[in-house]
Each structure stands twice: as structure tokens, then as C-alpha cells.
Amino acid sequence: MDSNVVETLAACLSANQPVALVTVIANTGSSPGKAGAMMTVQEDTTITGTVGGGSLENQAVLEAVDCLVTGKSKEVRYALDSGGDLGMICGGELRMFIKVFLPAPRLVVVGAGHIGLELYYLALHQGFRVVVIDDREKLVTQERFPEAERIVTDDLVRTLTEYVIDTNCFVTIATRSHEADRLALEAVVKTSEASYFGMIGSRKKVKNTLTYLLEHGIPRETVAEIYAPMGLDIASVKPKEIALSIMSEILLVKNNGSLQHMRAIKGFEM
């Protein structure tokens, strides 16, 4: 049974599919799940293995699916008596740990110029899968982006409208022109659920673009979520530094970080 669980876990990880591993870590009394029992749970509630069956297992599956939605692992405890969580009569307590395994995050780089290329390198080093989109065929080549998960040389708006961008995606826009940036950003905010979408640009360009989105029916709360100009205030005009500032901002969002210095967080400021 454990080998099936391990094989399913490995298959999901290989296919970049989210999966939770539920493990019984302690039990007392006559609980149906014994310490060490494991099962995998997928988003559609498909399971492999068992942690005891019955109402206990059903509740564990629901907890695991909820963890997949939030993306957070956690420990759960169940009292296994008539007055407990599940109305069981076997007595005792059972503890489980639900470990969430999510696919690697994906960076969607819209614009394959100098900054896009530097973002590609930085994202790979941070374990991101990278998709590069541009309508300039000379720039978007397998030779230039050899480790990209996907490269697309097509109309930007059509590609972004049709491409599935979910909450595990982070989108950066730095194309060949202001108009292309504006159209790409409009397509992204209309159709995607990205955790981050940002656009490079001057103060005037950004103001005009955000005004355009509002005038064309994009809700104000959605416009407020746009990172534009994208990046933290740490760079010069060099593409490498600009890309680093953008990647830093993405990590800030992804990891729920702060803009504090670590010395302040750890209490070492003098």
C-alpha cells in the first residue's frame, strides 16, 4: 500500500499536479488509523492509500482538499469518542499531518527583450517554470530560451486570452511598445487569476494605461492590484538590476514577505 502512495505522489510531482500527503503521526485508544498510515489526496478527492476509512478518512480528505486550495500544510487532531469531532465511539485521539505539494510556480514573461531575458534566467534559478510570449520571432527562439517550459511567437492579446493563467502564475509585461504593453495588460487582467501581474513603464505611461483600463470597464479593485511600474526601488537603469528588482517584488508577493531589513525583523538594529 505504501508503495502505491509513493508512486502516486511521485507521478503527481512529475506531472506538476497539486497533491496532499496525509500521514497519521500519532494515535491513542482504538482509532482505525494507526501511526504511519498514509494516503494521497488530489484536488478532485481521488485518494491512494488509507488512514483508516469511514468518517475519519472522509473528513481527512475534506481537510486535505481545503489545504490544497489554501496551499498550506497543517496538523489536524480528532477526538474519537461520542462527544468528539466525528461522533465516533472507539475512543482516544488521532493526529494527522497534511503536507501540501504544489506545482512549481510559473513566470509568464510577456516580452522577450533585455529585461525579459534577464527575468527568464532569474526565474529559473528560483525554481520557476517559465513561459515566454512575444510576437517577435527573432527574439523568441529555443536557442535563446533553452529551458523555457514554453515559448510562443504569436499575437500577444490572442495568446494571453487563450492561455490559462491561474493563481500559481506570475505575469510580467515589458514588450516592444507602450500600446502592446497596454493591450497585453488588459488581456491579462480580464482573463487571468494570476497572483501577480505587472508592467514596466514611466509614471506617465502607467497613469495613462491605468486610466484606459478604468475607462474600458476594468473594476477599480482589479486595477489597484496591478504592479506598475513593477519592481522594487533597488535598481539602476541596467536590465539585470531592473529584472532583479522585479523578481524581488514577485518573491515578496509569493512568499507574503515584508519590505523590512532582516536585521530589523530579527531585532538586531542598534
pLDDT at 190 over 60: yes
Residue 172 near residue 110 (C-beta atoms within 8 A): yes
Confidence of residue 71 (pLDDT cuts 50, 70, 90): confident
CA distances from 163 to 54, 106, 123, 159, 212 (A): 40, 13, 20, 6, 23
- C-alpha 133/C-alpha 156 separation (Å) is 7
- C-alpha 130/C-alpha 99 separation (Å) is 25
Percent of the chain with pLDDT over 90: 73
143: its cell numbers? 536557442
pLDDT of residue 1: 55
Domains recognised in the chain with CATH numbers:
2-101 (no CATH), 106-254 (3.40.50.720)
pLDDT of residue 82: 56
Mean pLDDT score, 236-262: 94
Cβ burial of 127 (10 Å; 0-12, 13-18, 19+) is: exposed
pTM of the model: 0.79
- Output the average pLDDT for the chain: 90
- C-alpha 126/C-alpha 37 separation (Å) is 33
